[in-house]
Amino acid sequence: MAAQSVLEVIRRVEETPLQDLVAVDITDVEVQMDHLLGREITADSLYRRWETQQWAVSELDFAQDKKDWAALGEGLQLAYRRTMTLFFIGEQAVTDTLSPLLFAAPREDERVFLATQIADEARHTVFFQRFFGEVLGLEGGLTAALEAVRPRTVAGFRKIFNEHLAGAVDLVRREPRNEAAWVEGVVTYHLVIEGYLALAGQHALLTQFRKVGILPGFTAGFTAVARDESRHIGFGVMALRRRVTEDPEMARVITRKLHELLEPAVYTGVAPDRRLAIEDPTEVPPLFRVNPLEAREFAIGQLTKRVRAIGISPAAVDEVGAAMRALYERGWDEYEHNHGVRHPVRWYQDGSLN
């Protein structure tokens, strides 16, 4: 992309109001996200973007979404509902766990930015609650809705959220002056949960819905969520880069924590413990098909580019990528071992689908 058109894309993503976001492609939001990894980005400039990028869940219109949802087959409904459920619970979990990171952030510009992020995460939770209520028919208020969807997670997800995230922020709460603990909290929260899991999931859903032309209310709202996430992830990268610049030892703290998180993170997406909604990918309508090999490379590319932007050595970044690739392979093998069926990725590996 020429420099001029990159700037044009960034400007459009940053300035488009909610009602027009349905027409903004997720790949354009990703171009803007990459721009936020630059060294000129500060907590103040991210705060200023927050002021101008406000949006309201109550302004979304889900009328067409209800019709589109009803027209999806059962298999696709189940597959989408599962991914959306992980987002719903994930948004609630990050809303509830960010305050210790705010409290312990040593710098005022960081505390100001994190205060805006807490408001964003609350809005994302409300967005999913409204979509689940109005489109998927899950009524009963926020707490009841969460209780209803909570058992429907997978082992990797529970490990990341209930053990790693909860443990990391609890240590920050108990030891607010422990700088390594804060860094580990940001690695878990901003780098892995937001910069890998959320990015991969949002890319998959938004690419599909735009391509097929369905769920316009969800697409508009979730694109606004993605733009919010671009600020959050940009902040995490900026904060970690600051620590590495001040103290090179922090690079080791970051890579050690990352390697601890890679298995449950990859397994949240691959989920070898749960059978897929549609196991034979040739039964998925062509327009709805996702190539798992492409999805893997996209997700690994997103995380490693952020680790690189923090200032981690190229060799250490390559190690992260290689470890992740091996974990996907292991996850697919385990899926076949657990359920005694072929994983859909094999159709793509042997060239019968592409």
Residues of this chain that interact with Fe ion (CB under 5 A) are 91, 121, 124, 194, 229, 232
| Closest distance to Fe ion from the beta carbon of 198 (Å) | 7
Give the residue with the Cβ less far from Fe ion, 76 or 85. Answer: 85
| Closest distance to Fe ion from the beta carbon of 220 (Å) | 16
Q: What is the DSSP letter of 194?
A: I
Instruction: Please answer whether residues 215 and 272 qualify as being in contact, where contact means their C-beta atoms are separated by less than 8 angstroms.
Output: no
Give the residue with the Cβ less far from Fe ion, 210 or 232. Answer: 232
The terminus-to-terminus CA distance of the chain in angstroms comes to: 25
Give the residue with the Cβ less far from Fe ion, 100 or 292. Answer: 100
Q: What angle do CA 240, 304, 237 make, to 5 degrees?
A: 20
| Closest distance to Fe ion from the beta carbon of 33 (Å) | 12
Nearest alpha-carbon partner for 110 in 168, 8, 174, 186: 186
| Closest distance to Fe ion from the beta carbon of 225 (Å) | 6
Q: What is the DSSP letter of 323?
A: H
| Closest distance to Fe ion from the beta carbon of 117 (Å) | 6
| Closest distance to Fe ion from the beta carbon of 223 (Å) | 13
Phi/psi of residue 56, nearest 5 degrees: -120, 125
| Closest distance to Fe ion from the beta carbon of 122 (Å) | 9
Give the residue with the Cβ less far from Fe ion, 223 or 251. Answer: 223
Give the residue with the Cβ less far from Fe ion, 116 or 208. Answer: 116
What one-letter code names the amino acid at 194? Answer: E
Give the residue with the Cβ less far from Fe ion, 202 or 348. Answer: 202
Give the residue with the Cβ less far from Fe ion, 68 or 120. Answer: 120
What letters, b where the CB count within 10 A reaches 16 and e where it falls short, cover 48-79? Answer: ebbeebebebeebebeebeebbeebeebbeeb
What one-letter code names the amino acid at 354? Answer: N
> Cα 267 to the chain's mean position, in Å?
14
Instruction: Please answer whether residues 269 and 197 qualify as being in contact, where contact means their C-beta atoms are separated by less than 8 angstroms.
Output: yes
